[in-house]
Homo-oligomer: A and B are copies of this chain.
Amino acid sequence: MVEIEARKEAASRSARLNAVFAALADPTRRAIIERLSRGEARVTEVAEPFHMSLNAVSKHIRVLEASGVVERHRKGRDHILSVNTRSLDEVDGWIERTRRYWERRLDAMERLLRELKKDHKLGPKDRKHGSK
A residues apposed to B, CB below 8 Å? 14, 17-19, 21-22, 24-27, 30, 33-34, 37-39, 83, 85, 88-89, 91-92, 94-103, 106
Number of copies: 2
Residues of B within 8 A of A94 (CB): 30
A-B contact pairs, 9 of them (CB 8 A): A14-B30, A18-B25, A34-B98, A37-B98, A37-B101, A85-B103, A85-B106, A91-B95, A92-B92
Q: A94 — nearest CB in chain B belongs to which residue?
A: B30
CB pair B88 A95 closer than 8 Å: yes
Cross-chain contact of A85 among B33, B39, B99 (Cβ < 8 A)? B99
Cα-based distance from A127 to B118 in the complex (angstroms): 67
Instruction: List, in ascending order, chain B residues with CB within 8 A of A21's CB.
Output: 21-22, 24-25
